[in-house]
Amino acid sequence: NQLLVADTETGKLSRLLTGVTGDEITGITVTPDRRTLFVNTQHPGNGDPTQSNFPAPYDGITIPRDCTIVITKKDGGIIGS
């Protein structure tokens, strides 16, 4: 699963995020100042610890969990600029 973004002026598509095995990228939102982006991922590995145990380090035992990913720019700037 992946999250694509588009340049509204050129129509160019770019990949912003690729999920782990078996997950679904859901629930994208941005703060009003556009400096922080939140993206949810659900059922990574479809609950199978042999496929993924995201977000924990892989050990083949830990059950994968849904999570929210927080994205910011290193310079604190506006996402997408």
For the stretch 9-42, pLDDT in tens is 999 999 988 988 888 898 899 999 999 999 999 8
Share of the chain above pLDDT 70, in %: 100
Is 81 contained in some domain?
A: no
Range of the domain at 31: 2-71
Is 50 contained in some domain?
A: yes
Predicted pLDDT at 34 = 96
Is 79 contained in some domain?
A: no
- Length in residues, the chain: 81
Is 11 contained in some domain?
A: yes
Is 46 contained in some domain?
A: yes
Residue 1's Cβ-count burial label (10 Å; 0-12, 13-18, 19+) is middle
Is 56 contained in some domain?
A: yes
d(CA 31, CA 12): 24
- Residue 21's nearest CA partner among 39, 1, 4, 38 is 1
d(CA 19, CA 26): 10
Number of domains in the chain: 1
Taking all residues of the chain, what is their mean pLDDT, rounded to a whole number? 88
Is 34 contained in some domain?
A: yes
